[in-house]
Amino acid sequence: MSEKKLNLTLKVWRQKNAKEAGNFITYKVTDISTDMSFLEMFDVLNEQLINKGEEPIAFDHDCREGICGMCSMYINGRAHGPAQGTTTCQLHMRKFKDGDTITVEPWRASSFPVIKDLVVDRSAFDHIISAGGFVSVNTGNAQDANNLPVPKNDADNAFAAAACIGCGACVAACKNSSAMLFVSAKVSQLALLPQGQIERETRVLNMVKTMDDEGFGSCTNTGACEAECPKEISVENIARLNREYLMANLK
């Protein structure tokens, strides 16, 4: 079976730095294999630009396995592109057709300022994690797992929340640039487990305060965050976050 090739038009956001205005630049790429990932296609484009003496497009990437959450591209109006539950690095070119025009932008949120081209500063997420995304444990040998019984439903929900990779797609998808899905996943992950009980109240109060201080918007309740999340984190975590926050304030 012969390999399929695509000829594409790319409209890519180029921005020299955080202070200067950016704009879309149009590029043509040819003979793109449908077996390539979206990032591999960008590698081909950057190689062409370098060979022509032009500056390559800056974009975030690391693991290219859907784990690190760095491949934050807004593709044709959707965070991470058209495939459900898929990061940009896992998106393959077979999702597109020959002759397609593809528009690629960085995340659009005031809390995620553009550094250069498609790279944004997501250190706001780091600040939220620093505010409460940890547990206090005694030093020494770890307890045997069977000495810390966890109801299966709680364990399953904690594991599902822990799947969040902090990519920021939820923020990019939300019209208010809310970080509620991200924060709720991190709060839920620890609130459901015995190890997370020591800081349970202070955690949610500190993380929500930091989220607000970083300038993220309020939840819209539209579910766009869950729809675009590459790990399909449930909005049920947001309901749990609200309960945790209410109880912490009452205490």
pLDDT at 145: 64
Give me 51's structure tokens.
């060979």
Q: Tell whether the model's pLDDT for residue 71 goes beyond 90.
A: yes
Domains delineated in the chain = 5-115 (3.10.20.30), 123-250 (1.10.1060.10)
Q: How confident is the model at residue 135 (pLDDT cuts 50, 70, 90)?
A: confident
User: Once rounded to an integer, what is the mean pLDDT over residues 27-53?
Assistant: 96
Render pLDDT for 80-103 as a digit per residue (tens, 0 to 9): 999 999 999 999 999 999 999 999
Q: How confident is the model at residue 234 (pLDDT cuts 50, 70, 90)?
A: very high
pLDDT at 136: 81
Give me 128's structure tokens.
């939220």
pLDDT at 2: 56
pLDDT at 139: 67
* 20 three-state secondary structure: coil
Q: Tell whether the model's pLDDT for residue 1 goes beyond 60.
A: no
- Give Cβ neighbours of residue 12 (< 8 Å, ≥ 6 apart): 24, 25, 26, 27, 57, 104, 117, 118
User: Once rounded to an integer, what is the mean pLDDT over residues 192-202?
Assistant: 92
